Amino acid sequence: MTDYLNTYRRYACDIDRVNEEARRSPNGFVASAERIFRNDLHMIVDQICREPVNRHVVLLSGPSSSGKTTTSMRLADEFRNQGFDTKIISMDNFYLGKDKVDILPDGKPDFESVNALDIPPIKQCIHQLLTVGECEIPKYDFKHSRPSGESFPVKLSKNSAIIMEGIHALNPIFSEGVSDSGVTKIYVSVKQGIKDNEEYVLTNRDIRFIRRLVRDYSFRKVDPQYMLSMWDTVVDGEKKYIRPFRYKSDFTVNSLLIYEPCVMKKTAMSLFERIPADDPGRVFIDRLYAALERFEEIDPELVPTNSLLREFIGGGCYSY
């Protein structure tokens, strides 16, 4: 696809302005940020739909806690609003299983590597969806970390779109030999941090860490100390397998919702307190604690049910 918009919306990310808006009009502040995100997705889908093809395949990637899942669902809603039959496929269904992936130096399976995926079937599916409009998608058994042996069919009509979402979706290994016509690549991530003058209060990676900490504890019962211990491995995997391909996207989505530290602070700070004082990551946690203390608090009830932030705090209208 032609590179229409490999740019992204930028906020004026100053903590004083954030706090001023949070105090003055929290409802309006939340609504404004949500409107910006919605308009960006609408513009992207509008551009994609101008391509003169019957079927669209969207490859969507981003690092951990970038909001890929909700972005996929919101994009699907936009496609449907324009009359396109739309489906979402998670590339996680193509994992090989823990017994067939590379092993890290610490002895753990490297699920962050592209080699953890069964690459040929993914390429075949993309090709078949573009050419004949149908393919078989395997089902992965996440409980036992292996393929289930089952599959389900995906069939596209004319005027349809399929969104394939996964951390490796932009890796060119999946689009080699596939016509660019009908294929769109989207990269989504938190693209900005929040500053006090020229100094960062929270970096973009800090914001993603806070998102993941809150989500993993609330919905996956992951202990905060364990999640902290895994974060460096997650970041290393992103550097190796995701970031090198972000400039190959046709569109970049900034998933930052500028008000989110105001909503996340109370829950995140309570989780920080669960991490022992002698933990090697305590300096990092103390810095984040002090940073979140500086934000005005906003009631999570003000967050819309279709907000990307609901992927991390719960209470949303989408199933995850």
Could you read off the pLDDT of 19-71 as tens digits, one per residue? 999 999 999 999 999 999 999 999 999 999 998 888 899 999 999 999 999 99
What does pTM read for this prediction? 0.92
β-partners of residue 140 are 147
Residue 212 identity: R
pLDDT of residue 5: 54
Stated as kind and residue range, the H or E segment containing 186 is strand 183-189
Stated as kind and residue range, the H or E segment containing 178 is none
258, 298, 191: which is closest to 15 by C-alpha? 258
Could you read off the pLDDT of 157-184 as tens digits, one per residue? 888 999 999 999 999 998 877 767 789 9
Q: Which two tokens stand for residue 16?
A: 């004083």
